[in-house]
Amino acid sequence: MTGPEHYREAERLLAFVENHEGSPLIDPGLTAVAQVHATLALAAAAGLNDAEQGLSGTELTAWHEAAGTRANAQ
């Protein structure tokens, strides 16, 4: 799952929780799962930002693969 996909999943889960707040069908852990997706999205974005600030080669490629993006041509 890419960083943007984690972000969208966090939004989807939180919207579901908000729309069904107080429902006995909502698993209390669902909010925690949304938080994990949001954290992974943030980690991917931060990693890419750091990668663009001077990493090169294998490490830069690994960050782009983890985030599901392509490196800019230099």
**Angstrom distances, CA of residue 45 to CA of 6, 54, 74:** 11, 15, 20
Residues 46-68: what's their mean pLDDT?
69
Asked whether residue 33 carries a pLDDT value surpassing 80, the answer given is yes
In a domain, 73, yes or no: no
Domain of 10, in residue numbers = 3-18+26-67
- Interatomic CA distance for residues 22 and 66, integer angstroms: 36
**Count of structural domains within the chain:** 1
In a domain, 62, yes or no: yes
Per-residue pLDDT tens for 3-32?
A: 778 888 988 988 888 888 777 667 778 889
Asked whether residue 69 carries a pLDDT value surpassing 80, the answer given is no
> Which pLDDT band, with edges at 50, 70 and 90, does 39 fall under?
very high
Name the average pLDDT for the chain: 77
Q: For position 58, what pLDDT does the model report?
A: 74
